[in-house]
Amino acid sequence: MTQRSSDEEKLKPAGSRNSEDLKKDEAGKSLPAQNRMGAEPEGKLLFSMALPMTISMLFQAFYNVVDSYFVAQLNQDAMNAVSLSFPMQSLLIAFSVGTGVGMSALISRTLGERREDRAREVAGTGMLLFILTAALFSLFGFAFGHRFFVLQTDNEGIIRYGSDYLTVVMGICFFLYAQVCMERLLQSIGRTDKSMLIQLSGAAANIILDPLFIFGYAGFPRLEVMGAAVATVIGQAIATLVGFLLNLKYNPVLRPAFRMIRFRGRIIADIYRIAYPSILMQSVGSLTNFLMNQILLGFTEAATAVYGAYFKLQSFIFMPVFGLNNAMVPIISYNYGARQPDRVRKTVRIAIASAVSFMTLGAVVFMAVPQVLIGIFNPTEEMLSIGVRAMRIICLHFPLAGFCIIAGSVCQAIGNPFHSLLISVCRQVLVLLPVAYFFSLTGVLDNIWLAFPVAELVSFILSMIFFRQTIRGVKMRLGDA
């Protein structure tokens, strides 16, 4: 049998495999990555794929906190500079992750349809999109990094630290995009254990290099806040190299895609049809964070430091749910393409129950020990006082957010991307910002934090409506399994 024939055999959906194959599976032998997504029990499959992603994302969350921890040892201006950089970093991530979601979901769907050549074309086109987008952001970072901070504050310390940090992170963002691309290529074929290694390698390098470059230990130059950015870029470069090697070794289905990087208009349209809700949702989030910072700066700079600290801390709660979510998307995309609606619905039910349970646990932790959490960032007395109250108020929305995250990705993965976009816009633009601004007029800082649970309640209601419509649509298009 030729290698091509062997690969095609691996790509057959579960329903097309013969009884001998299924007996081997029932005997406990391992399944190829693609066949796993069409035959392995839904709960076992979801958690086995989610675990590596969750571990890598938790490690990434740990890195984010460690990064801010070291920066906070300099002074509050340094912490504020990193916090005010967050909207632009979010925009970087919006385009990288959004493009990755579109590419990965489309690859998984075409593999479920047994269109291997098409999957390779999608991968090659996706790589080109990553390269072009990184180039655009790089130009913006070098040209406007300083101006971004001048628009927000007249504090010279924040402007200097922030300009140093953002110019490096955005100007050399190629490795961020390359890393995300390598991760998504592996995730699209179910190799989440390998994509985990990419994130772990980059985050580990970053954690090691942070204190060396920030404080100038062991003969390294003392770069202060710029040192955190340099460590970040080096970590991303290491992760990119690891990802490239892992794809060459463990991704036989898509390995030829590295030679197929070219412009394909139809595929680009298909990728962005899936990706644009993620891109726009996170871009809206970037704008929201920018405007929230402006509202908080009207009270005190300590409030923006608390806001930045919150986003670092909440990643420990949200990242595992995003790991679960990222594992779910290729599973339901594959089974949707393979016309197995029952597996789609079962996977979604398990994901929702798990996400809501974990987010509820996170809310309990934030409510119980906020002073311990905010204490990580070397807070002033003012920052600690504000942070304790803020954490307890904001965390009320966590359980609702667990459902909304999964529901939005379900709509996006199987053909209703506009739903998740509409939910995000309503939550952040039509509810969160107006409510936060209205509450700020009371002159009471704590009231601003109430905007988060209010906005999430609206998001939950809309998510429930669109989610039910999407699941009914799956039943109508594919019928019951």
**Number of structural domains found in the chain:** 1
pTM above 0.95? no
CA–CA separation, 160 vs 149, rounded Å? 9
Neighbours of 329 (CB within 10 A): 24
Residue 36 within any structural domain of the chain? no
Residue keyed to tokens 């995003």:
322
Closest to 340 (Cα-Cα) out of 45, 116, 26, 8? 45
Residue 15 within any structural domain of the chain? no
Residue 25 within any structural domain of the chain? no
Is there a contact between 219 and 75 (Cβ–Cβ < 8 Å)?
Answer: no
- In single-letter form, the type of residue at position 161 comes to Y
Q: What is the pLDDT of residue 17?
A: 39
Q: Please name the residues in contact with 45: beta carbons below 8 A apart, sequence gap of 6 or more.
A: 36, 37, 331, 347
Closest to 177 (Cα-Cα) out of 125, 120, 228, 137? 137
Residue 438 pLDDT class (50, 70, 90 cuts): very high
Q: What is the pLDDT of residue 479?
A: 62
Range of the domain at 260: 41-478
Q: Write the pLDDT tens digit of every residue in 126-150.
A: 999 999 999 999 999 998 889 999 9
Assign 3-state DSSP to the chain and report helix, strand, coil percentages, each to 5: 85, 0, 15
Residue 415 pLDDT class (50, 70, 90 cuts): low
Residue keyed to tokens 């726009």:
280
Helix (H) or strand (E) holding 324: helix 301-337
Q: How many CA atoms lie within 13 A of 333 on its CB side?
A: 29
Residue 318 within any structural domain of the chain? yes
Residue keyed to tokens 């593999």:
111
| Residue 376 phi, psi (nearest 5) | -60, -30
CA–CA separation, 78 vs 259, rounded Å? 44
Residue 328 within any structural domain of the chain? yes
Residue 225 within any structural domain of the chain? yes
Q: Please name the residues in contact with 127: beta carbons below 8 A apart, sequence gap of 6 or more.
A: 181, 257, 258, 261
Residue 5 within any structural domain of the chain? no
Q: Where are the alpha helices (DSSP H) in 338-449?
A: 341-368, 370-374, 381-394, 398-413, 417-425, 433-440, 445-449
Mean per-residue pLDDT of the chain: 85
Q: Please name the residues in contact with 191: beta carbons below 8 A apart, sequence gap of 6 or more.
A: 33, 250, 251
More confident residue, 254 or 323: 323
- Give mean pLDDT, residues 319-340: 84
Residue 238 pLDDT class (50, 70, 90 cuts): very high
Q: What is the pLDDT of residue 476?
A: 73
Q: Write the pLDDT tens digit of every residue in 340-398.
A: 888 888 999 999 999 999 999 999 999 999 999 999 998 999 999 999 999 999 999 99
Is residue 5 scored above 50 in pLDDT?
Answer: no
